[in-house]
C-alpha cells in the first residue's frame, strides 16, 4: 500500500451544532475522531485542519457582553488563536483516545498556526465570512442595534449571520513545523479556524481583524507540505449540481475544467459549497498529481473502501489512476 499524505479539513459546524457547551463539542469531536482514525489505520499520514466560524462568533459575543475598560475584549485575531487552542485541545485528546483504542503507535499535536495575508486584500473592505450562530431576520436586526459595528447577511437560506473580512491566505508560516511533525509520525492539527490572520511588517507578524476561510487555508497548507490528497468534509456525501432541484445530480469523478464550467453557471452557494469547490480546484491545479475530495465525515469509510464522494482531478486520465 502506497502511503499518502492527507490533509482533512473539518468544518466548524461539524464540531458545534445547537449545543454550544464545551461538553457537547467535546462529544462531537470524540465521534469525529472515530472516523478520522481510519486514515491512520489505512497507513496514511494524516494532517487535520478545522473551521471555527460558530465558535469564534460565540466567543466574540461572550467577550462583548463582559467587556469593561479594565478587562477589555480581545481583538478578532486573538479570538481566532483562542479557538484554535480550545478546539485543538478537544480534538487532540479525542484523537489520542481513539488512537490508543485502535492500538496504533502515534500521537497528536496542535500547532497554533499563523497564516499570512495581503494587507491590501479587498476583503478587508468587503466582509463576507460568516461567523457565530444563525439568527432570524428579527434577531439579526436586534443584534445589529446592540452592536452597530457588526455586519449581518443572509447565509445560504439558513438564516442570518455576522460576517467579517476573509482575506485569501498567501503563506502558512508554520508549514515547515507541520512538515517536520508528519515526518516523525505525529498527527498535526493545524490552520485551525483558517489560521490566525497576520501581515508581515519587517521581522514582525502583526495580527489583523479577520477570519480566513478554513478551506483556502487548508489548501495552502496542503500545497506547502506536498500533500497527495486534500479532503474537505461537509454535510453531504457528494457535491451536487442543480442542488435541491428535481434534476439535481451528484458529482463523482470530476475534472477541474468541469468544475469551472459549473462555477460559471453559479451552481454553488457562497459561504457554503463555493469556497470548498474553489479550494479543491486551487489544490489540484497547483500540485503535481494531487487530488481533492469533497464528502461527508460519515462517508469516510465509503471513500476509503470504494472511492465514494466527489473526487477532483486535473484531467480524466488523472481521475482514472
Q: Which residues contact 294 (CB under 8 A, 6 or more apart)?
A: 231, 232, 233, 234, 238, 239, 273, 276, 277, 280, 309, 310, 312
Residues designated as active site: 12-13, 129, 214, 276
| Nearest partner of 113 among 45, 40, 39, 212, judged by Cα | 212
Query: First-to-last CA distance in the chain?
Result: 14
Compute the distance between CA of residue 285 and CA of residue 107 in angstroms, rounded to an integer: 32
Sign of CA dihedral 264, 265, 271, 275: negative
Q: For residue 71, count other CB atoms closer than 10 A to its CB.
A: 8
Q: Name residues whose C-beta falls within 8 Å of residue 136's C-beta, 6 or more positions apart in sequence.
A: 159, 160
DSSP-assigned beta bridge partners for residue 129: 164
2 exposure class (CB count in 10 Å sphere: 0-12, 13-18, 19+)? exposed
* 226 three-state secondary structure: coil
Query: What value, to the nearest 5°, has the Cα angle with vertex 29 and ends 25 and 34?
Result: 155
**β partners of residue 204:** 201
Angle between helices 175-183 and 214-224 (to 10 degrees): 60
> Which residues are within 8 A (CB) of 145 and not within 5 positions of it... i.e. 6 or more apart?
none
> Can you tell me the distance from the alpha carbon of 208 to that of 197, in angstroms, rounded to the nearest whole number?
6
Amino acid at each position: 500500500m502506497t502511503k499518502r499524505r492527507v490533509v482533512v479539513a473539518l468544518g466548524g459546524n461539524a464540531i458545534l451544532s445547537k449545543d454550544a457547551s464545551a461538553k457537547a463539542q467535546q462529544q462531537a469531536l470524540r465521534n469525529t475522531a472515530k472516523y478520522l482514525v481510519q486514515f491512520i489505520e489505512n497507513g496514511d499520514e494524516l494532517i487535520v485542519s478545522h473551521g471555527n466560524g460558530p465558535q469564534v462568533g460565540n466567543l466574540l459575543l461572550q467577550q462583548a457582553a463582559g467587556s469593561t475598560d479594565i478587562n477589555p475584549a480581545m481583538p478578532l485575531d486573538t479570538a481566532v488563536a483562542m479557538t484554535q487552542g480550545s478546539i485543538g485541545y478537544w480534538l487532540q485528546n479525542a484523537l489520542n483516545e481513539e488512537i490508543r483504542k485502535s492500538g496504533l503507535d502515534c500521537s497528536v499535536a496542535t500547532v497554533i498556526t499563523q497564516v499570512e495575508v495581503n494587507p491590501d486584500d479587498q476583503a478587508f473592505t468587503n466582509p463576507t465570512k460568516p461567523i457565530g450562530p444563525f439568527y432570524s431576520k428579527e434577531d439579526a436586526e436586534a443584534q445589529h442595534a446592540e452592536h452597530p459595528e457588526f455586519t449581518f447577511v443572509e447565509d445560504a437560506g439558513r438564516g442570518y449571520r455576522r460576517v467579517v473580512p476573509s482575506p485569501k491566505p498567501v503563506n502558512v508560516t508554520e508549514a515547515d513545523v507541520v512538515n517536520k511533525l508528519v515526518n516523525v509520525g505525529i498527527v498535526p492539527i493545524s490552520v485551525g479556524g483558517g489560521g490566525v490572520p497576520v501581515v508581515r511588517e519587517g521581522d514582525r507578524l502583526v495580527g489583523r481583524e479577520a477570519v480566513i476561510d478554513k478551506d483556502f487555508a487548508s489548501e495552502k497548507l496542503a500545497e506547502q507540505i506536498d500533500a497527495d490528497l486534500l479532503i474537505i468534509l461537509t454535510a453531504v456525501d457528494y457535491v451536487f449540481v442543480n442542488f435541491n432541484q428535481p434534476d439535481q445530480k451528484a458529482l463523482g469523478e470530476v475534472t477541474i475544467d468541469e468544475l469551472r464550467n459549473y462555477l460559471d453557471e453559479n451552481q454553488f452557494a457562497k459561504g457554503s459549497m463555493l469556497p470548498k469547490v474553489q479550494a479543491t480546484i486551487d489544490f489540484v491545479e497547483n500540485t503535481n498529481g494531487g487530488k481533492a475530495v469533497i464528502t461527508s465525515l460519515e462517508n469516510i469509510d465509503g471513500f476509503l473502501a470504494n472511492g465514494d464522494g466527489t473526487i477532483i482531478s486535473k484531467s480524466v486520465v488523472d481521475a482514472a489512476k
